């Protein structure tokens, strides 16, 4: 059976090289420009499949705006709350009663 996509299968040396160059199996597959599932298939065939489940050494994205929100955006003074309640009650009374 011939390969319809005309691409050679990944060699053991390519997989070893990409694993040594990166910190995760996902990054290794990206380095070889192949899909993760294809990389996983050949790595298991060659006995090189050893995923980094803990994610140790890989930088995770941080929320840089987490602590910069304005707390007053969520708090209202008593007068603002009372005015809002009166406007709601006034609109309900005027619509139908």
Residue written as tokens 């709601």?
Answer: 88
Q: What pLDDT is attached to residue 31? A: 94
Query: Could you tell me the pLDDT band of residue 70, with boundaries at 50, 70 and 90?
Result: low
- Which DSSP symbol is given to 27? H
Query: Could you tell me the pLDDT band of residue 73, with boundaries at 50, 70 and 90?
Result: low
Q: What pLDDT is attached to residue 96? A: 61
Q: Which burial class, exposed, middle or buried, applies to 93 when counting CB atoms under 10 A from its CB (0-12, 13-18, 19+)?
A: exposed
Could you give the angle at the alpha carbon of 58 between the alpha carbons of 52 and 63, nearest 5°?
A: 130
Chain centroid, CA 54 distance in Å: 15
pTM above 0.75, yes or no: no
Over range 38-59, report the average pLDDT. 91
More confident residue, 38 or 93: 38
The yes-or-no verdict on residue 40 having pLDDT over 70 is yes
């Amino acid at each position: 059976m011939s390969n319809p996509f005309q691409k050679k299968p990944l060699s053991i040396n390519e997989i070893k090289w990409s694993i040594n160059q990166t910190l995760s199996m996902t990054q290794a597959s990206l380095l070889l420009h192949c899909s993760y599932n294809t990389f996983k298939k050949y790595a298991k065939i060659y006995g090189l499949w050893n995923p980094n489940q803990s994610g140790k050494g890989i930088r995770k994205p941080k929320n840089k705006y987490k602590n910069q929100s304005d707390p007053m955006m969520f708090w209202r003074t008593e007068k603002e709350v009372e005015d809002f309640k009166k406007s709601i009650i006034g609109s309900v009374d005027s619509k139908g009663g």
